[in-house]
Amino acid sequence: MERVPLGGSGIEVTRLCLGAWNMGGQKGWGPESEEVAVSLIHHVLDSGCSFIDTARGYGRGKSEEIVGKGVKGRRDQVVIATKMLQCPPEDVGPNIEASLKCLGTDYVDLYICHWPVPSLPLDPFFEEMVRQREAGNIRAIGVSNFNRKQMETAARYGVVSLQPPFSILWRVADDVVDFCRGNGVAVTPYSPLAQGLLTGRYTRESAKSPGGPRESNVLFSEDVLPDSLKVAAEVDRIADEMGCTSAQVALAWVLQTPGITCALVGASRPSQWDENAGALDLTLSDDDYRTLDDAGKAVWTRFDPEDALWGWKPT
């Protein structure tokens, strides 16, 4: 797989990253067992992927533990990203220590602020993150779900990446993307398939009770779902014309968007990962890209840029 710079960190990552949220042990979502999850990680690494993303909050460390088992013996081949919610500075070190223990490593390549907490000041948090970087516990600092003002603060502390939700259906505010591009910050989006809405798997009836975390995704809400599925139908149509899968079209659209460094995708089985990886060999025509861009904006513009994909954010 092609490798690209992760902002100004000096780290290179593949253009697809395995997202390990679904390895947190939530029933009915993700690999059917820990053994299957570890085997899947081995398959992903064998495919050439070098980037895996997890978080403290995914099963209270369970996902980190599985990732640690999956990369055991191959640590030097993998860029590991994990995350924690913004917290008081005195809690940063213990959170990182817990991640290191779960992952079975003595450093994390990219440690991400999972969500900013508006009731807490950002500067003390990042000052402690910088200390952790200088101590060698982390190689680089990233953020997730930050707006433009928060990015301006983060950039003063050498943050190298932003992880926002981004897909044909859900965008990032233009001023945030412009800031990242102008300041050498990598954009590594999550949920590029809109949690399966853009894979061709859902009908109007099946999407009404999607299960798991999708239940809180606003794109599945009763008033938005019909329009989301209209966009999904456009993705299906283009996939049929190109002789590929809907997931590959949706991922190719994200990867062809200017300013996007790589995309995080989850998988429950090797065949699903292989299908997603096929997007790396796909190029959409300018007309198809614009068609999907316009279709998705019809959904995205129904929301305020500060809205959260999950209908929730920390206060």
| 36 CB-contact burial (10 Å; exposed 0-12 / middle 13-18 / buried 19+) | middle
> How many angstroms separate the CA atoms of 45 and 180, rounded?
29
Which of 58, 111, 190, 202 is catalytic? The answer is 58
Question: Quick one: how far is CA 182 from the chain centroid?
Answer: 21
The one-letter code for the residue type at 252 is: A
Task: Give the helix/strand (H/E) hosting 180.
Answer: helix 174-182
3-state secondary structure of 117: coil
d(CA 45, CA 71): 8
Which tokens is 250 given? 């949706």
DSSP symbols for 212-236: GGGGG-GGGSTTTHHHHHHHHHHHH
Is 289 labeled as catalytic in the residue annotation? no
- Rounded (to 5) percent helix, strand, coil in the chain: 45, 15, 40
Q: Nearest-CA neighbor of 203 among 174, 237, 240, 228? A: 228
Sort strands 12-14 and 3-5 into parallel, antiparallel or unpaired: antiparallel
Structure tokens at 106: 């003595």
- What residues are annotated to the active site? 58
